[in-house]
Amino acid sequence: RTAKSFLKDGDAKLIKKAFNVSMEAHKDMRRKSGEPYIYHPLAVAQIVVEEIGLGPTAIVAALLHDVVEDTYWEIEEIEREFGGKIAKIIDGLTKISGVFEYGTSQQAENFRKMLLTLSDDVRVILIKLADRLHNMRTLESMPRNNQLKIASETMYLYAPLAHRLGLNTIKLELEDLCLKFSEPEIFEQITAKLRETRAAREKFIRDFIEPIQRELDEQGFNPIIKGRPKSVFSVWNKMKKQKIPFEEVYDIFAIRIILDTDFEREKADCWHVYSIVTDYYTPSPERLRDWISTPRANGYESLHTTVMSKTGQWVEVQIRTQRMDDIAEKGYAAHWKYKESNTSPPQHESGLDVWIQKVRELLESDDKAEAVEFVQDFRDNLYNEEVFVFTPKGELKTMPFGATALDFAFEIHSEIGIHCLGAKVNQKLVPLNYILNNGDQVEILTSKKQHPNEDWLKFVVSSKARTRIREYLREDAKRYVAEGKEITDRKLHLLKLDGHPEIVVQLRAYFNCKSNNEFYYKMGKGLILPQQLKKFKADRIEKHINEKDKIVDAKTFEKEVTRIRGVNTDMLLIGENMDKIDYVLAKCCNPIPGDDVFGFVTVTEGIKIHRINCPNAMELMSNYGYRIIKAKWTSQTELAFLAGLRIIGSDRMGLVNDVTRVISNELKVNMRSITIDTNGGMFEGQIMLFVHDTSHLDILIEKLKKVSGIINVTRFDS
């Protein structure tokens, strides 16, 4: 029904045919929830048309997106029945299907394949995002460990990708759903508090809007004005970043003013409305954002300001036209709709096209790169804001926020980047790591004698620069490896050690190298000197190197884990039979008994136990899903585990004594360290202490909250 208005002759018939094929192909299949499988392609097709705004080709492809992967249909049959364009989209979707279970490099390769489809048809990724959105909406029926893996992967890659393609509504929903399944208690708490404060919030919005609405109506604008609540995830993010409770998050909504105005008058009308809003409410000058003159890379256009309400509360106001709002909500599809109808500003129409062209170039030039590195760099650049800088000839270049002079050099050309010696910014000499600001004019200085080194990777931020530097360093490393092997062979021959097949393994152990190539590289670069091999020989004669047997690859390790935990369970019980296998508690999150945890199989350090909400959990689960082991605690009340508490309150005499009395005297808890910082009558402290489990920690937190002057006590990751 939604698509009816734009269907041409034959479109409805083709969509019906696709539905019938999908219905027949999936007739004996059911989803994890028990419902008929056909509900899924139908839901994906609905998202594609209603929430992304795509046309009949995408609807047909969405209906058929699982047919080749899951049923007897072949891609050639799809091409015969539905044509080459639809077959190509489905082929792209089939190549990137499923949750990636095969390990990091395979997972990253699959994501790289998905990005390659940008070169052919962006609809592949848009349909994939619709597919992921419906899978996230129906994730309740999946086992808990699958929920965590899928949510982590979604937060790690799909939400940033939706953001970059301008699909703001989908991005926000994906983030909320990820929080719902990864941190269900936090999600429910914030949702409940948003519900409780809704009536007061709506009254505030009505009072705030009323004078603006009246003035705009009088001037003939007739706008749509609405209060838009912040997403649960963005509220949680703000609470975490600012270390504040829900009650102190004041900007939990934004006012959006949408104008129905002619394309030629858009900019003037938006600024006119801005002047009306700021006549009634005082603006904060440093929080003005003009994304109409310089849109974001994902095509987003809007005028943002933050003003002080009559009740003393800061309120964000977004001013945009209907065209801008469509692009903000539906991203790439809306961008193309307006572009084709010539109602998109010519100087801005290529924002998304330029980004897609950059992705294309990156993929084509980076085929030698480690897929994991590529995905990490790509992902890091998805959320980046931009800065606008100029070449010496006045050409505008858009760079990621935090970009350096060296990033700019690589943006101009790879060869210029490789030989970049420094830069002139606004006629002044600056070093390579100088961070560019909006409006800078940049001239790059080069020298044929200059070459990349590993330090460059510490400060460049753009995918292009990182990729080219790594590419150069890899080629450089190959040369050092070849030279190192030649030096080693020659020296071993002189030392009469060249007849021993195990000698290189012993050399690696002696010089603490993880691989043959690392050893040869160090030899070639002069980090290990030839005369040190003589000492190696002397030590070898003196005593045999008895290496403790180590499990050196993940598969062997997992076999050992399976043997220990038994064939009937995939749950690792921490504390049970653990003398047979190495395990450590991860220092990044300091898990203690009672925490929801998982095990991560490492190659050299045994199993690391992490909390489910560990800062690194999302990346581990999304990138290394095949090495995750479910885990839970056995009773270990005789052991003590390190935990960290953050306390905030008003400073007073004797406070530290009261805190230490509760910890040491009342609860008999041993402390490792305590630090207190005071500022303006307030204090913030961090305490590292040893507890038995989460119950023990919860009792301590509740006791500390009762100490006079303490406002908040929270656990933190070290």
Q: Render pLDDT for 239-289 as a digit per residue (tens, 0 to 9).
A: 888 888 888 887 788 899 999 999 889 999 999 999 999 999 999 888 888
Q: Does residue 99 register a pLDDT over 70?
A: no
Q: For 397, which DSSP code? A: E
Q: Which residue, of 150, 182, 214, is where some domain finishes?
A: 182
Residue of 98, 266, 105, 253 lying closest to 627 (CA atoms): 105
Residues 215 and 143 in one domain: no
571: containing domain: 554-633
Q: How far is CA 320 from CA 351, 552, 555, in A?
A: 18, 58, 55
Mean pLDDT in residue range 358-386: 57
Q: In 26-167, where does DSSP find H-type helix? A: 39-50, 56-63, 67-70, 75-82, 84-95, 104-116, 123-137, 144-153, 159-164
How far apart, in whole angstroms, are the C-alpha atoms of residue 449 and residue 421? Answer: 9
Domain for residue 241, yes or no?
yes
Residues 108 and 12 in one domain: yes
pTM for the whole thing? 0.62
Q: Does residue 495 register a pLDDT over 60?
A: yes
Q: Which stretch of DSSP H or E encloses residue 466?
A: helix 463-494
Asked whether the beta carbons of 120 and 88 are under 8 A apart, the reply is yes
Domain for residue 591, yes or no?
yes
Question: 547: pLDDT confidence band, cut at 50, 70 and 90?
Answer: very low
Domain for residue 708, yes or no?
yes
Q: Does residue 528 register a pLDDT over 70?
A: yes
Residue 327: predicted pLDDT? 83
Residues 34 and 176 in one domain: yes
Residues 85 and 36 in one domain: yes
Residues 149 and 291 in one domain: no
Mean pLDDT in residue range 378-384: 58
Residue 103: predicted pLDDT? 42
Q: Does residue 39 register a pLDDT over 90?
A: yes
Q: Does residue 370 register a pLDDT over 80?
A: no
Sheet holding 628-633, edge to edge: 571-574, 628-633, 597-601, 607-611, 583-585
Say how many domains are in the chain: 6
Question: 607: pLDDT confidence band, cut at 50, 70 and 90?
Answer: confident
Catalytic residue among 70, 120, 443, 658: 70
Residue 192: predicted pLDDT? 93
Residue 326: predicted pLDDT? 86
Range picked from 319-328, 657-666, 669-678 for highest mean pLDDT: 319-328
Mean pLDDT taken over the chain: 81
For 22-26, 424-428, 458-462, 530-534, which range has the lowest pLDDT when averaged over its residues?
530-534
Q: Does residue 435 register a pLDDT over 90?
A: yes
Domain for residue 292, yes or no?
yes
Q: Which stretch of DSSP H or E encloses residue 412?
A: helix 405-412
CATH number for position 654: 3.30.70.260
116-171: pLDDT as tens digits: 655 567 788 889 899 999 999 999 988 888 888 888 888 888 888 888 777 888 99
What torsion, rounded to 10 degrees, do the Cα atoms 691, 697, 702, 707 define?
Answer: 30
Residues 661 and 600 in one domain: no
- Residue at 87: amino acid letter: A
Residue 228: predicted pLDDT? 82
104-122 burial, b at 16+ Cβ within 10 Å, e below that, comes to beebbbbbbebbbbbeebb
Residue 577: predicted pLDDT? 53
* Annotation marks residue 539 as catalytic: no
For 18-22, 30-34, 217-221, 275-279, which range has the lowest pLDDT when averaged over its residues?
30-34
Mean pLDDT in residue range 499-524: 83
Domain for residue 254, yes or no?
yes
Mean pLDDT in residue range 386-400: 81
Q: Which residue, of 633, 665, 687, is where some domain finishes?
A: 633
Q: Does residue 113 register a pLDDT over 80?
A: no
Residues 148 and 274 in one domain: no
Percentage of the chain lying above the pLDDT 70 cut: 80
Q: Which residue, of 182, 209, 243, is where some domain finishes?
A: 182
Domain for residue 490, yes or no?
yes
Domain for residue 531, yes or no?
no
Residues 17 and 154 in one domain: yes
- Residue at 129: amino acid letter: L
Catalytic residue among 24, 69, 260, 454: 69
For 3-7, 185-189, 328-332, 618-622, which range has the lowest pLDDT when averaged over its residues?
3-7
* Annotation marks residue 553 as catalytic: no
Domain for residue 48, yes or no?
yes
Mean pLDDT in residue range 291-307: 85
Mean pLDDT in residue range 22-41: 89
- Residue at 371: amino acid letter: A
How far apart, in whole angstroms, are the C-alpha atoms of residue 683 and residue 674? Answer: 13
Residues 388 and 310 in one domain: no
171-215: pLDDT as tens digits: 999 999 999 999 999 999 999 999 998 898 889 999 999 999 999
Residues 24 and 142 in one domain: yes
Residue 462: predicted pLDDT? 87
Residues 99 and 73 in one domain: yes
What torsion, rounded to 10 degrees, do the Cα atoms 479, 484, 487, 491 define?
Answer: -170
Sheet holding 641-650, edge to edge: 670-679, 682-691, 641-650, 710-716
How far apart, in whole angstroms, are the C-alpha atoms of residue 210 and residue 218? Answer: 12
610-662: pLDDT as tens digits: 988 888 887 788 777 777 888 888 765 556 778 889 998 888 888 888 888 88
Residues 54 and 169 in one domain: yes
Q: Which stretch of DSSP H or E encloses residue 601?
A: strand 597-601
